[in-house]
Structure 1
Amino acid sequence: MIEAISTETTKFRHATVGRTGTALLGIGIALLAAVMPLAAQSGDPRMLDKLGEAGERSWDGLLSGAAQITGAGGLLGFGVVLGWMFGREFVDGTITGLFGLPVSRAQIAAAKLIVYLAWAVLVSALIVGALIVGGLALGLGLPPTDTAGGLARQFALGVMTALVALPVAWVATVGRSVLIGVVGAIGLVIAAQVATIGGAGGWFTVAAPALWALSEGDDVSGLQLALLAPLLILVVGVTLHAWRTLQLNR
């Protein structure tokens, strides 16, 4: 298992998708959040209405913008990377070689998940660090003590967003394609938006983390967030099963 994790880590570290995903998520989210207050300086009432709190030149505004972007763009970004990790073996034709390895295919899939989750934690920490740098660049000064909770929520949001993207691993495996995995990620984003607009976001696990962060925990209960656990168990289980029973003749 350790060898499988090492191999998947090497694959990911040297892949363009891994480096690009790290930059776009780790730095891009903070950069977009920092641009929002600058866009609000135009004074356009329609722009100000769209930006809301995210247009404020303050730590609260910066964190609000980051949470909004992470909830949608972050979900898509994590999903695309996950779709590549599980779909590339089929696209590149390397899946046949995995059948001859002494490591089981289920262990290979588990190694992919472990590498993905470790990367997601690092990216979530990078987002927080980039937000602090962005706040300093905007002239907001060092984050006050009461902002620590907001930064912690942003880190937790990043990790939970990566977790709710996990169904993409199963979709890319069953579909045997990176592209189908990407379509699955887009589907998750659309479903989350529809659930939120319909007022059921708190009970829809994919949308709950973003609503929790944006409302500072007021609009999503602990029970609703806890529903993430059974989803993860189910998705990991079906993904490992799909790799364990994988056949080359279809």
Structure 2
Amino acid sequence: MNAAIRVEALKLVRSPVDMIGTLALVAGTLALLGGITVALADGNPELTAKAGAAATLDWNGLLASAAQITAAGGLLGFGVVLSWMFGREFTDGTITGLFALPVSRSRIALAKLTVYTAWSIAVSVVLTLGILALGLLLGYGTPTADDWGGLARHGALTMFTAAIAVPVAWIASVTRSMLASVGGAIALVIIAQVGALAGAGGWMPLAAPALWAMSSGTAVTPVQLALAIAVGIVFAALTCAAWARLQLNR
């Protein structure tokens, strides 16, 4: 199992997808936050009206904007990386070689998910530190206790977002298509947005983490938030099961 984890980690680290995905999630989010801040400072009335709670030039506004960006863009970014990790084996034809290995396919899938989890944690930490640095650079002052709590929630939001993206790994496994799994990632984003607009609130696992972060933890109950974690666990198990049943003639 350790050998499989090392191999999958090398695949991810040496791939351009890892670099692009990390830059998109971290640098892309920070760039958008900087652009939003500049527009708000210039008094853009349309953006101010649309931003809502994120329209203030302080830690609260910065964290609200970061939560909105991570909820949508993060879900797509994590989904694309998962699409590559699982779908490329079928697209590149390397899946046939995995049948000759002494490690079971289910363990290989678990190794991929383990590496993905570690990478997601790293992205969460770096992005949260980046938001902290951006807030200090913008002159918002030393974070208060509430601000530190908001930063911690954003770190958790990033991990929750990574968890609810795991269905993409299952889609890639059952369709054997990287393109289909990318489409699945886009579908998850759409479902989350529609669910939030439809008033499903915290009972929509794909939208619950964002609502939890943007409401300072008041709009979502612990049970509702746990459903988001359950989505990741259930689809991780389904993905491992799908890989255990893989056959060369299909």
Q: TM-score, normalised by structure 1?
A: 0.96
Residue number in structure 2 paired with 1:209: 209
Match of 1:65 in 2: 65
Q: CA deviation at 1:34?
A: 2.7
Q: Does 1:111 align with 2:111?
A: yes
Aligned-partner SS, 1:227: helix
Summarize the Cα distance change of 1:75–1:229 in structure 2 as closer, same or farther, 3 Å threshold. Answer: closer
1: CA distance, partners of 2:147 / 2:58 = 10
Alpha-carbon deviation of 1:31?
Answer: 2.4
Give the SS at the match of 2:26. helix
Measure the CA separation in 2 of the matches of 1:229 and 1:153. 15
Q: Per-residue CA shift, 1:95-139, capped at 9, x if unaligned?
A: 110000011111100000000001001100111111111112212
The 10-residue stretch of structure 1 (197-206 or 50-59) with the greater mean CA deviation from structure 2: 50-59
Counterparts of 1:43 and 1:58, CA distance in 2: 15
In the other structure, the counterpart of 1:98 is 98
**Structure 1 segment 155-234 matched on structure 2, within 5 A:** 155-234=155-234
With 157-166 and 221-230 compared, the bigger mean Cα shift is at 221-230
User: 1:209–1:76: structure 2 CA closer, same or farther, 3 Å change rule?
Assistant: same
How far apart, CA to CA, are the structure 2 residues paired with 1:233 and 1:189?
Answer: 19
Structure 1 counterpart SS, 2:139: coil
Question: Aligned partners of 1:185, 1:52: CA distance in 2, in Å?
Answer: 27
Count residues in correspondence: 250
The one-letter amino acid of 1:14's match is R
Structure 2 CA distance for aligned equivalents of residues 238 and 44 of structure 1? 47
The TM-score, its normalising length taken from structure 2, stands at 0.96
2:42 matches 1:28: no
* Unaligned 5+ runs, structure 1: none
- Larger mean Cα displacement after TM superposition, 218-227 or 8-17: 218-227
**Contact 1:109/1:243 (8 A) holds in 2:** yes
Q: Assess if the C-alpha contact under 8 Å between 1:34 and 1:135 holds in 2.
A: no
Q: Can you list the C-alpha shifts for 1:129-184, whole angstroms capped at 9, x where unaligned?
A: 11111112212233233311000000000000000000000001111111111100
Q: State the match for 2:5 in structure 1.
A: 5
Identity of aligned residues (%): 53
CA contact (8 A) 2:168 2:184 kept: yes
Which whole-Å CA distance do the structure 2 matches of 1:228 and 1:144 have between them? 28
AA in 2 matched with 1:43: G
The one-letter amino acid paired with 1:6 is R
Which residue is equivalent to 1:74? 74
Cα deviation, residue 52, structure 1: 2.1
Q: CA deviation at 1:233?
A: 3.1
Alignment root-mean-square deviation, CA: 1.2
**C-alpha distance 100-165 of structure 1, shift in aligned 2 (>3 A):** same
Distance in 2 separating the partners of 1:39 and 1:228: 33
SS of 2:220 mapped into structure 1:
coil
Q: Distance in 2 between matches of 1:134 and 1:4?
A: 38
Q: Comparing 235-244 with 2-11, which one deviates more in the overlay?
A: 235-244
How far the C-alpha of 1:203 sits from its partner, in A, is 0.3
- The gaps in structure 2 that reach 5 residues or longer are none
How far apart in 1 are the matches of 2:232 and 2:70?
A: 19
